[in-house]
Every structure is written in structure tokens, then in C-alpha cells.
Amino acid sequence: MQTADIQNRWLTYFGDRGHTIVPSASLVSDDPTLLFTVAGMVPFVPYLTGLVPAPYDRATSVQKCIRTLDIEEVGKTPRHGTFFQMNGNFSFGDYFKKEAIGFAWEFLTLPEADGGLGFRPEDLWVTVYEDDDDAVAYWKDTAGLPDERIQRLGMDTNYWSTGQPGPAGPCSEIFFDRGPEYGADGGPATDDDRYVEIWNLVFMQYLRGEGKGKEFSILGELPKQNIDTGMGLERVAFLKQGVENMYEIDQVRPVLDKAAELSGRTYGADHEADVRLRVVADHVRSSLMLIADGVTPSNEGRGYVLRRLLRRTVRAMRLLGVEGTTFAELFPESRDAMKAAYPEVEKDYDRISRIVLAEEDVFMRTLASGTTILDTAVENTKKSGASELPSDTAFLLHDTFGFPIDLTLEMAAEAGLSVDRDAFDTLMKQQRDRAKADAGSKKQFLADLSVYGAFRALGETTFTGYENLQTDSSVI
């Protein structure tokens, strides 16, 4: 089942059930406090909060998303992409928990011939918030799920709130069991490699009051209860396509294969190389989609995220053993894999290609000059009899030459030297603190905020999302 087929089944299923089909919004969110669209609900936030009356009672979409917070997971877990698509169905004061559970179950288990995904009921597990007895009852009655495949979990995973007074409520998540060869028995509460999370149902039910973290008061039920759900398109695609992870699906695999060909690697032969091939496949696609949505490489904000994705790709290819340029061969593979779903990547390809080739060229040269600096520092260190490269050299390479720290670590190690990582981190932190102080009110552009930063638009209360602000220095 091709990814585009799953997308069509989704839109048809929910469209047939009274949902208005809303096209994906841009990856660049309208909300100035968000770097990117990080979930399907982002474009619907004004309706979900009740700030703006929704023009429909029910909606559905397949939303392009970027989550840089997941970047370190890419290639290592089977399920985290920096770019992915989230299929959502939304109810604005219309249907609620019972129907949301009924739709999710039916769509997943309906035979393929009838427009569903044809999952076997016995492969599916769910989690619910610990005291959400209604949800448990609906999973049993409406979906016919046995008790032992319904797990009750706490606030950390199964409760949604904005982090400030406003709508809040329990979540219920659906998982696919890949079988004992992937990990321990015991359901999603025990093993997140064997049991893959595919769908999150959020029941916006309560009005929360003041509080911090997971400690807050509930003021009562919301007058209008809403549904927000998100199903990971790539996750479902990899499970339906019978492959091992989301980097092997039809929309991603061709880039991986090209990277393997260019580096003379056999995918599956070596774990470390496989991770790098998956990183390349992921980052090339994310970069393609970001540029198609108008982002260009730069040293701040969204452009910096793009720049880091491109540089990490160069670096991964280099670590795979390729010294020369590769973008001219990798990007067309991604374009061809994505153009059925997003024709703009083909129409706009000349511009996209010019941008990536220029960026690759600049970074290759940067890499060359940085390498000269590093070689000199290595020589001096050795002459002095020390075994550790000065941390300020590592910092200079990062700051001025855009050298990822792990590249410096690796190159130093090749020369038999170590780097004081703690001292380097301290220098990085000092720089971040300076940047924060300088940026003042512009600080949001340094961060990939959680989706709930969108609620800052509510205005009256202090937004606490910045406490989770991540500068992502680890990205390159």
C-alpha cells in the first residue's frame, strides 16, 4: 500500500463521514511564535481554543510537519522523521470521545477492499489516561477491544494541556504490535520499539486553571468539547508496506538507495552506516520540503534549521566515505518520490536545486578550511605533548566554520586526540546565553517551540513554553 494510497483512503473515509477536507498548511506556520508546523492541529488552533468560530463542525487533513526536537532520534528509532505527515480528524463541538474512538477503530480495521487499512484487531493496543473510564468503556464496547490490551497511563504520556490555563484533557493512543522478535511482551507501557505508536486521540474536555508542569487545577468541563487526533502517515506506511522503519517507505527509500550506491555501501550490512544512510534519506526529504515551502538556508531561525539539515547530510555522506558532492544526485530521488503527493517539488525544482547545490558548495569549502585549522591544532597539541585538543579550537570550528562537534570529535580521534566535551559545552552555553540576552524579544526564533506555543495567542496569561525552549545546538 503506497503512502499516497493511505493518504487517499484517509481523506475519503473522513470526507464520507461529514469532515471538510482541508489542504495541508505550509510547514512555515502562520503563528510567529512557532518555527514550524509541528502537528496537524496547528492550523486549527484558533477553532480549537474557541478564539475564532470554526467554519465547519468537522474537518480532516494530511498535514506536513517538521519536528526538529526529534532530530537525534532520526535513523536510530524506526519511527522518527524530522519531516513527516500527520493525518488528522477534528471535531469542533460536534462529536466527542465515543465517535472519535469508533472512527479510529473502524478506519484501522476495516478491510482494505472496503477503504480501510485492514489491520488485524489482535495487533492493536491502546493506552488511556489513568482515570478515563469513559475511554476504557468505549474501547471495550465500541471497538470490542479486550481489557488486557487497554493500558492506563499517567499525565506524562496521556494528558494534554497547553501548559497554561485553557483547554485540556486526556489522550488515548493506539499502538501496533510488531511481534516478539522486536522486544518484550507487555504492551506499549513496556516497549516502544515493539509497540509502535501510530495514532493519538486528544479529548479536549476540561478547562484547566493555574499550575505548573503537571500540577494544575481543573476548573470544570468545557462548554464545547473538541476532538484533535493525529495519525502518523509514515508510521502506518512502514507497517503496511512490511518494511522495518519509516525510512524504507516508498516516499523515502529511493534517497537511501542512492546514498548507498554513491558510497558503495550495502544497506543492512553495518549498523552505523545504516543509521547514516537513514539520516541522509530523512534530511534530504525534509530539506526539499522546507525549501518548497519558501525556507532558504541562513544563520537564524528557520533558515538555520534548514542549513543544519543540509550540513548534517554532507557530513553523513562524508562519514560514509564520500568526499565529493552528492546533492545533485540525492535530491532528484527525493523529488521523484514526493512529487505525486506534492507536485510543487517538481514544478519548483530548478530553484530548489540551485539552493541546495550552492549550500553544498559553501559547506564543502568551509569543511576544507576548517580541516586546515584542525590539522594545525592537532599538530600543535601533539608537539606540546598533550593528548587533548583545546576546547576553544573545537568551539571556533563550530562557531566560525560550522563544524558539527561530533565531526571535530571524530577527526580528533582519528589523530589520536580527545576533546574536553564538558569545556566545549560550557563555551556553547556561554554563547547561547549571550545570544539570548542579545535577542531579547526575538528569542522565539532561536527555538523550535512545542506546538502549544501557538496558544500564546491567547495573550492574557504568561506563556511558559519558553522554559522548554531548545536551541538545538546539538543539531549540527
The residue (of 249 and 374) whose beta carbon lies closer to ligand ATP is: 249
- How big is the CA angle at 152 (ends 150 and 154), to the nearest 5 degrees? 150
**Grid coordinates 506524562 are at which residue?**
156
Shortest spacing between CB 10 and ligand ATP, in angstroms: 13
Q: What is the 3-state secondary structure (H, E, C) of 268-325?
A: CCCHHHHHHHHHHHHHHHHHHHHHHCCCCCCCCHHHHHHHHHHHHHHHHHHHCCCCCC
C-alpha pair distances (Å), 454 with each of 64, 129, 319, 446, 463: 17, 24, 38, 16, 10
Could you tell me the sign of the dihedral formed by the alpha carbons of 390, 409, 472, 197, in that order?
negative
The residue (of 145 and 153) whose beta carbon lies closer to ligand ATP is: 153
Shortest spacing between CB 117 and ligand ATP, in angstroms: 13
The residue (of 197 and 359) whose beta carbon lies closer to Mg ion is: 197
Q: Is 86 in the site for ligand ATP (CB under 6 A)?
A: yes
Q: Is 203 in the site for ligand ATP (CB under 6 A)?
A: no
Among 200, 225, 286, 381, the residue binding ligand ATP under the rule CB under 6 A is 200
Whether residue 316 contacts residue 322, with contact meaning beta carbons closer than 8 Å, is answered with no
DSSP 8-class letter at 366: H
Q: Is 88 in the site for ligand ATP (CB under 6 A)?
A: no
Q: Which among 270, 244, 310, 280 is positioned nearest to 79, based on CA atoms?
A: 244
Residue 142 CB coordination number (10 Å): 18
Segment lying near Mg ion (by CB under 5 A), choices 162-170, 191-199, 386-394, 438-446: 191-199
Segment lying near ligand ATP (by CB under 6 A), choices 226-234, 249-257, 268-276, 453-461: 226-234
Q: How far apart are CA 335 and CA 66, in angstroms?
A: 17
Q: How far apart are CA 185 and CA 193, in angstroms?
A: 11
Task: Collapse the DSSP code of 354 into the 3-class scheme (helix H, G, I; strand E, B; otherwise coil) and give the result.
Answer: helix
DSSP 8-class letter at 26: P
Draw the binding track, 193-232, toward Mg ion (x: CB under 5 A; -: no contact): ----x--x--------------------------------
> What residues numbered 153-172 form the site for ligand ATP, per CB under 6 A?
none
Whether residue 70 contacts residue 235, with contact meaning beta carbons closer than 8 Å, is answered with no
Shortest spacing between CB 338 and ligand ATP, in angstroms: 15
The residue (of 197 and 360) whose beta carbon lies closer to ligand ATP is: 197
Which entry of ligand ATP, Mg ion, none binds 84, CB below 5 to 8 A by partner kind? Answer: ligand ATP
Q: Is 70 in the site for ligand ATP (CB under 6 A)?
A: yes
Q: How far apart are CA 127 and CA 247, in angstroms?
A: 26
Q: Which three cell numbers stand for residue 463?
A: 506563556
Q: Is 232 in the site for ligand ATP (CB under 6 A)?
A: yes
Whether residue 402 contacts residue 311, with contact meaning beta carbons closer than 8 Å, is answered with yes
Q: Is 230 in the site for ligand ATP (CB under 6 A)?
A: yes
Q: How far apart are CA 212 and CA 164, in angstroms?
A: 8
Angle separating helix axes 327-338 and 301-319, nearest 10 degrees: 120
Residue 345 is inside which H or E element, if any? helix 344-347
Q: Is 177 in the site for ligand ATP (CB under 6 A)?
A: no
- Number of chain residues interacting with ligand ATP (CB under 6 A): 16
Segment lying near ligand ATP (by CB under 6 A), choices 192-200, 218-226, 318-326, 387-395: 192-200
> What residues numbered 29-68 form the site for ligand ATP, per CB under 6 A?
67
Residue number with the shortest CB distance to ligand ATP?
A: 232
Q: How far apart are CA 240 and CA 123, in angstroms?
A: 12
Shortest spacing between CB 438 and ligand ATP, in angstroms: 31
The residue (of 22 and 231) whose beta carbon lies closer to ligand ATP is: 231
Among 78, 81, 165, 170, the residue binding ligand ATP under the rule CB under 6 A is 81
Among 31, 228, 234, 360, the residue binding ligand ATP under the rule CB under 6 A is 234
Residue number with the shortest CB distance to Mg ion?
A: 200
Residue 450 CB coordination number (10 Å): 19
Among 14, 159, 199, 452, the residue binding ligand ATP under the rule CB under 6 A is 199
Q: Which residues bind ligand ATP (CB under 6 A)?
A: 67, 70, 79-81, 84, 86, 197-200, 230-232, 234-235
Q: Which residues bind Mg ion (CB under 5 A)?
A: 197, 200
